[in-house]
Structure 1
Amino acid sequence: MTVPLRRDAKVVVGAFLASGTVHLVKPAVFEPLMPSWVPAHKEVIVGSGVAELLCAVGMMLPATRRAAGVAGAALLVGVFPGNVKMAVDAVQGSNRPLQAVSLARLPLQLPLIRGAWRAGRA
């Protein structure tokens, strides 16, 4: 019997499909998130977009859900420093909406990580 994808994992799949597409179509959007110590910014951005899309598709398929869920959780943990950098940079600036969004994103990463992890554990 195939277990249906959990609701929290569906949210992760949707987020990965949207974000992964933006990574490929408009990689410059993610340039400000890149820590200076990360080499080859554009290549890393495109690569992480491909990884997001692969994880999303993998979580939708029961045969690959376990690996894709664990990989998706690891990916979210891996990009978290970029989210922190974005929030720190925003707080130092004067754009209030960007500050709010950047800071609100940080705690939202935890349910996304949990959703991907749970998909991998199902």
Structure 2
Amino acid sequence: MPRLFKNAAGPVFVGAGILHFVIPKTYESIMPDYLPAHRELVYASGVAEAAGGAALLSKNPTVRKYGAWWLIATLVAVFPANLHMALNPERYKKIPQPLLWARLPLQLGFVRMVLRAAKG
């Protein structure tokens, strides 16, 4: 994986986490209906992403390793929202349907990026 992606993982996740607080309604709109407390879950996932991204920026390899596993758990936890979008394309008319499905395997790419970033 190019060094750029490896070095970008921390800042990307910190930025994504911050966006959960800047534009929470956007994230709430992709939450599956069966989940309670959408706003609270959006904020919790934002904190999780930002904290994991910050851990990847650490010079301490142990912190990076734990941060990577934290982010992988976060990616697994938010996967239902991505699946929800793919299964309900009528709710997301601004996004082409093939992109809704393409996001699902991209999560594996993020996992790989996070693991590489953890190695420093």
Q: How well do the aligned residues superpose, as a CA RMSD in angstroms?
A: 2.2
Structure 2 CA distance, aligned partners of 1:97 and 1:48? 22
Structure 2 CA distance, aligned partners of 1:58 and 1:94? 33
Unaligned residue ranges in structure 2 (runs of 5+): none
Unaligned residue ranges in structure 1 (runs of 5+): 1-5
- Output the TM-score relative to the length of structure 1: 0.80
Structure 2 CA distance, aligned partners of 1:71 and 1:94? 29
Residue of structure 2 equivalent to 1:83 = 82
Q: 1:114 aligns with which of 95, 112, 116?
A: 112
Number of corresponding residues: 116
Q: 1:41 aligns with which of 34, 38, 41?
A: 38
Q: 1:56 aligns with which of 49, 53, 64?
A: 53
Residue of structure 1 equivalent to 2:103 = 105
**Residues 27 and 45 of structure 1 are in contact (CA less than 8 Å); yes or no, is this contact kept in structure 2?**
yes
Tell me which amino acid in the other structure corresponds to 2:38: H
- Output the TM-score relative to the length of structure 2: 0.81
Structure 2 CA distance, aligned partners of 1:74 and 1:7? 23
Tell me which amino acid in the other structure corresponds to 2:52: C
- CA deviation profile, 1:4-42 (whole Å, cap 9, x unmatched): xx6544343243123212101110001122112222110
**Residues 8 and 112 of structure 1 are in contact (CA less than 8 Å); yes or no, is this contact kept in structure 2?**
no
Q: Percent identity?
A: 34
Local SS of the residue matching 1:33:
coil
